[in-house]
Amino acid sequence: MILVTGATGNVGRHVVGGLLGAGRPVRALTRDPGRAGLPAGAEVLRGDLSEPETLPPALEGAEAVFLFAVPGTASAFLDAALKADVGRIVLLSSLAVDDAAEVQPNAIGAYHADIEDAIEASGLEWTFVRPGAFATNSFQWRPQIEAGDVVRLPYPEAVSAPIHEADIAAVAVQALTSEGHAGARHLLTGPESLTNGDQVRVLGEAIGRPLRAEEIPVDVARQAMLRHVPEQIVDTMLHLQAASVGRPALVTDTVEKVTGRPARTYAQWAADHASDFR
């Protein structure tokens, strides 16, 4: 049995599907099983990493765990995993973690690094899956695209290599089900460096109407983001975008090395999700 936490998230859903497709029994942990909408082959169990009392039944009989990184939950989870004799943990971490830094340079790297450190210290077998920018970040533009043809954002020329959530999951499934990944830190990106403006244009092509990006003041964007995202994370995201302008994004071939096929392009992601923007 493989336990998938964060099972209803963008990546977790694909991990559940990938494991079932590989013929592996799956237990999916979610706060609301009635609304999970997961494949019929998965055992869906109510639980929450922030509620330690729900972890022992979720971990019972689990040989491996796909762990979604939730700040402040590592200690209780690892205690329960050790008691349940879990053999392997695959953590959904972040490319923001800097292994060379004594102090992580930003809030995103810091909380993921704290969880990584706790897992390493536990003695359990582990693999860290570290994606960079998610292509799903583009969902933040959906209300503007539904309302018109202009996406207003603070850094149209900010650069990233957005990765399809299905590729992140495919790497995680390999790490959960095959040998050779113990102690690996898999750095994941999409296959191409794109500006935010490029992504808006590609989305327009996918939905069949031209879209364009328009720059707005950073403080205006920040105030809007603070309605949904903690301040430290907002400031980190804006800083990273500002620092990326004019610099090609890191592009890795890890997806292909681990899964045997190239990472999906952003255009493929846009085509896969075109109906979400219409």
Query: Residue 19 domain-assigned?
Result: yes
The Cα–Cα gap between 145 and 231 comes to: 25
In this structure, are 106 and 21 located in the same domain?
A: yes
Q: Residue 43: which H helix or E strand, with range?
A: strand 43-46
Q: For residue 139, what are the domain limits?
A: 133-163+189-249+262-278
In this structure, are 268 and 216 located in the same domain?
A: yes
Query: Residue 90 domain-assigned?
Result: yes
Tens-digit pLDDT string for the chain (278 aa):
999 999 999 999 999 999 999 999 999 999 999 899 999 899 999 999 999 999 999 999 999 999 998 888 999 999 999 999 999 999 999 999 999 998 998 889 999 999 999 999 999 999 999 999 999 999 999 999 999 999 999 999 999 999 999 999 999 999 999 999 999 999 999 999 999 999 999 999 999 999 999 999 999 989 988 988 889 889 888 989 999 999 999 999 999 999 999 999 999 999 999 999 98
Q: Work out how many domains the chain is built from and give that number.
A: 2
In this structure, are 140 and 277 located in the same domain?
A: yes
What tokens does 202 get?
Answer: 């590609």
Count of beta carbons in the 10 Å neighbourhood of residue 168: 26
